[in-house]
Structure 1
């Protein structure tokens, strides 16, 4: 699925939570920033290590989880 390769899971990073590109940016934190009202541009301005595609990847990952589909089914 589009952007999904940007989400990584590594037991040594953030206790194995899904993260952006192996960095210490859990998907849940990015979703929380969006949910708090931050725009994509505000997030990118505040956190230069993130890319627009990372945010879309987080949204896509969250959509797959709430849809009940397994992540490996999306490929």
Structure 2
């Protein structure tokens, strides 16, 4: 099950960077937090408006992008 529909891109939000549900949490930031050793639960404790599927969507996006796939974010309407 893909969670990529949670990742959006809008030029008006974070300069068009891929973010989670338009919440101004860039995918890159979430990936960096996980790379630093934070668990999904710790991230959700620090950012209570995020859901587990948001963090997993960021991880899925990063995995696809690092594998050479072009990942196209859906623009927020």
Uncovered stretches (5+) of structure 2, i.e. residues with no partner = 73-77
Runs of 4+ in structure 1 deviating by more than 3 angstroms, as ranges, are none
Aligned ranges for residues 1-75 of structure 1 at < 5 Å?
2-71=2-71
Aligned residues: 72
Q: Secondary structure at the match of 1:8?
A: strand
Alpha-carbon displacement from aligned partner over 1:27-60 (angstroms, at most 9, x marks no partner): 0000111111111111111110000000110010
Q: Secondary structure at the match of 1:57?
A: helix
Q: Which has a greater percent of helix?
A: 1
* Cα separation, 2, equivalents of 1:21 and 1:62: 16
* Cα separation, 2, equivalents of 1:2 and 1:29: 20
Uncovered stretches (5+) of structure 1, i.e. residues with no partner = none
